[in-house]
Amino acid sequence: MRITFTRVDHTLPLFCENIGYDWQQEHVLRPNGYYFFHWIQSESGTGTVKIDGNTFSLEPNQGLLIRSNVPHEYYASASQQKWQTQFFVFSGTIANELMAFVGLKKYIYISKLSPELSSFIVNNFKTFSQDDLKSALKQSAAIYRFIMLIKQDSSSTANSFEMETIIDPIAQFISNHYSTEITNEQLSSMTGYSISYQNRVFAGHYGITPLKYLNEYRLRQAKSLLMIHPDWQIQRIGEAVGFTDISRFIHQFKKLNGMTPLQFRKML
């Protein structure tokens, strides 16, 4: 079931262009994105989504909000004969400000929808069945509520999803391999996300990028080795934690701790 508005009042704070549910989803390829904000959620079956260099599945009770003009593609996964979706396309004079409040960059993926957000389209479908000014104002209020639900669900579920897929794997990889060379490309290959996206997510949690986290992790390990192995040369300590340049090791250690490795050792 679907409603498409052909006469949209673009002066409204928020307006709907398209809404539907129980939709037999066809293959969609938009190299230039869509011109309005676009929400899609999986009703039954599983879809494959490609966006911003990432590919992931959209399973029942999961949803995706895509910014306007962001290239994307989605289709029923190979193992699925049918993929039914719900969708909601909207914009308005205050839409950009609200999307900034929600935290929308290129897209927001919600791995577990709350009952209220999951049922919003079905429960509010009749609100969008009329095409007059009074109804348009009610629709604008409903869209505002929908956006607040996205904010609520993305705040409660994004952290756990990002911890599981990006933050924890990177931190664990660094813990296991800090003594070897580690690059952003390696970490991106491991997580399956773009360097810019994974770095932004990681920094949002730790306040620093993965490579800066690696640098500080190495220096913390160096302090431990200075205490455990008082007979080791400073160069050996630096090499053991992944620094190939002894001068850089001493400089970075002093920058973080306010003293050189040798000065630190003398305090022990």
pLDDT in tens, 83-115: 999 999 999 999 999 998 888 888 988 888 999
pLDDT higher than threshold 90 for residue 159:
no
Q: Which of 154, 171, 189 is the last residue of a domain?
A: 154
The tokens of 2 are what?
């679907």
pLDDT in tens, 189-235: 999 999 988 998 888 777 789 999 999 999 999 999 999 999 999 99
- Burial label for 60, CB within 10 Å (0-12, 13-18, 19+), is middle
DSSP for 175-231, written as a single string: HHHTTS---HHHHHHHH-S-HHHHHHHHHHHHSS-HHHHHHHHHHHHHHHHHHH-TT
Whether 31 and 131 share a structural domain: yes
- Using left for φ > 0, alpha for ψ between -120 and 50, and beta otherwise, residue 232 falls in beta
Q: Looking at residue 69, what is its pLDDT? A: 94
Rounded CA separation 130/136 (Å): 8
Specify if 190 maps to a domain: no
Rounded CA separation 21/14 (Å): 20
231: domain CATH number? 1.10.10.60
Picking from 36-40, 138-142, 161-165, which range would have the lowest pLDDT averaged per residue? 161-165
Q: Which residues, in sequence order, are CB contacts of 192 under 8 Å at separation 6+?
A: 54, 55, 165
Q: Which residues, in sequence order, are CB contacts of 253 under 8 Å at separation 6+?
A: 219, 222, 259, 260, 261, 264
Q: Give the residue, 222 or 78, on which the prediction is more confident.
A: 222
Closest by CA position to 223, among listed 180, 252, 182, 181: 252
Specify if 136 maps to a domain: yes
Whether 40 and 132 share a structural domain: yes
* β pairing state of 2-4 and 15-24: antiparallel
Whether 138 and 225 share a structural domain: no
pLDDT bin (cut points 50, 70, 90) of residue 2 is low
Q: Looking at residue 71, what is its pLDDT? A: 95
Taking residues 72-90, what's their average pLDDT? 89
Taking residues 21-31, what's their average pLDDT? 94
Q: Which residues, in sequence order, are CB contacts of 135 under 8 Å at separation 6+?
A: 127, 128
pLDDT higher than threshold 70 for residue 160:
no
100: domain CATH number? 2.60.120.280
Q: Which of 104, 132, 154 is the last residue of a domain?
A: 154
Integer-rounded Cα radius of gyration of the chain? 25
pLDDT higher than threshold 80 for residue 161:
no
> By residue range, what is the domain housing residue 121?
2-154
Please name the residue that has the structure tokens 């309005």.
36
The values of phi and psi at residue 201, to 5°, are: -65, -45
Whether 234 and 115 share a structural domain: no
Q: Give the residue, 5 or 246, on which the prediction is more confident.
A: 246
- First-to-last alpha carbon distance for the chain, in angstroms, is 73
Can you give the pTM of this predicted structure? 0.61
Q: Find the angle CA(198)-CA(144)-CA(15) to the nearest 5 degrees.
A: 100
Q: Looking at residue 141, what is its pLDDT? A: 94
CB atoms within 10 A of CB 129: 10
pLDDT bin (cut points 50, 70, 90) of residue 79 is confident
Q: Give the residue, 53 or 26, on which the prediction is more confident.
A: 26
**Average confidence score pLDDT of the chain:** 90
Specify if 44 maps to a domain: yes
SS3 call for 59: coil
Specify if 185 maps to a domain: no
Query: Beta partners for 54?
Result: 51
Taking residues 126-141, what's their average pLDDT? 86
User: Where is 30: in which H helix or E strand?
Assistant: strand 28-30
